[in-house]
Chain A
Amino acid sequence: MTRFHTTVRRLGRGTLLVLALGAALALVAGCESKPDKPTKFVFANTSSFDTLDPHQSFDVGRVAPRINLYDGLYRWVDNPPELIPWLAESYTVSPDGLKWTFKLKQGSKFHDGAEITAEDVVYSTERIFGVGKGAAALFSRMLEPGRTKALDKYTVEFTLSKPSAIFLSIIPEIHVVNSALVKQHVKDGDWGAEWLSFNDAGSGSYVLDQFDPAVGWSAKRFDDHFYGWGENSLPEIEFRVVQEINTRVLGMLNGDYHGTDGYLPYDQVKRLQEAENVQVLDEESMRIFMFQLNNQRAPVSDVNVRRAISYAFNYDAFINDILSGSVERNPVPIPNNLWGVPKDVKGYSFDLEKAKAELAKAKVKPDRELTIGVLTGFNQTEQAATLLQDGLRQIGVKSRIESHPWPVMVGKMKEPSTSPDIVIYWISTYYADPNNWIGEMFNSAGWGTFKSSSFYKNPKVDALLDKALQSTDMAVRAKAYEEAARIVVDEAAGVWVYNTKWFGPYANNVQGVRFCPIGNGQEMRWVSFK
């Protein structure tokens, strides 16, 4: 018997099998190695990209394809947000505020080389209405299908159904698509929606390269982009779907990703701040955290009960202890870093004596459990609810916390009779105008939308908000919003807690990130590797 056979017998077949498996493992693992120099920027995104169609999505989590693959007439940049001409070079407004005329820059191209014309803008606008999703509901308040026309090859005119001061603010949401290309792929009157979910018909800074809805998408720099390019701009970008927080954080620490979302739990932010290979940028955002109060159902319909609730929440403990001071106190229904905020309003503070005094004045006493709605999977809403519940208990008000997934909560919030007494959530930045917050939340014309689920009704506030919406005079608008905010705060139509801070983790060798609350710093054309 050979020495080999003896060795095998001694070791045993089982041991040898384990050794063989280990060798195979080492071989496979050894074949993988990280490149020394990054060739593309990889961003770990929290949301999945179900669709690349810019007219089918409007949410913040899926903003990256809209702002990197497509262009609009104007674009939001920087913080505080500034609206700059983009595909358009200028605009005019008729004296009655109804006709908005935009002149396009000439020679701007789509990714397939076709020139962008006014007809593409018209088609894109009509397509938003035709698809009926995304920003359609927002535009339909001021614009109707068929009221957009091309005056000539480079001039487009929008005729609004009523004056709207926010029209320019939401113009960036008309992502211009290549009409000729999309029309080739229309099926059963779907406006090309199925095709555009997977493909690119844009003119944006990057051209779609690959897309896998389960994995993410990658794109290459569009060298003929009208805006031109600086030195060292990213030749390739990839937005990868990584839904698990821990995996995103470990990936940043491991150098697998060059950037990830800026709204991580603060303990994870601190972990990244301590890492040698990660830099964390911070900016004040415009995403407010609030409690929506059901103003149409007793006892919360009583203004004194609402004030009592406002005094019963320990804002300082929540912000400083639970959130480690990572957010900014914001006591009004407009982000405090935006115009239109009444600077003289201090808002409510944690004061149980004042809460009890308000309750004593209430005509309708809380003689039942108040329901506090929180979002399943969003810990902060649950933490806030628990803290509020404790405060309410101390003033003799019982409450019950109900947790629901977001679609269920949206369904409940449509009607006063089904909406919880208190719902805790965030209001994100869709456009940088106070109307995005106070206008859509507290104008009674918006009842039935999820943002307006306070069911608050005050004719004076409605008049102020309508005036602010229709005027194009910034001073008039600011004054109207400030006055409306004072009334809404005084009547405690809601409880406003904080304004979010964005903590954007990036690899140390990344530079040029331009954070804007609309877009969350995910516009890659400004970014480069050092």
Chain B
Amino acid sequence: MRERGVSTLGGILLATLAGMVTAALIMDWVVVDVHTPAPDAFHIKVPFPLVVGHVATAFIPDDVMAEAVVPPEVRQHRELVLTAVQSLLETPDATLVKVRADDAHVDIRKQGDDLVVAVEADDASVRCTVPLDGVLDALDDWDWETFDPGMVFDILGAVNHGELVTVEAEDGTRVAVKIW
């Protein structure tokens, strides 16, 4: 008599699929979105899990990293940098710097745990969100001796979902890096 139900192999496959879908849903994803204008218009969206970027940094050859030594004068300012970032985190929300010039407008604003930098120039506008809490954690954990590319992904991990960097050029090109 044929039994109804799912075979062991089917169960494993289903469980694996469910695990992958769940993992994909709970993981942070970075989406790089590029639009270029006509006549050679194209639109490309490259999504990848943040963890993949982190893992990829492990494959950077050791000899490359050995050369990426942080100058001692930078190391000397560790406390200053950590204090500045910590103080910024504790700063109430406000526009901290505002520059208005003929060819560009710059605004640096504290917004929640983020520092938002917006530049409006004649030929491009750039908006960047820096997660101060992520930066502080990453800088605190960093050895300040060699550049650590993984640190970038640690910082990205602290970003709230949304647009992290957007660049809009005069010719209509738009590049956005989003965390999803």
| A and B part of one assembly | no
B interface residues with partner A (beta carbon < 8 Å): none
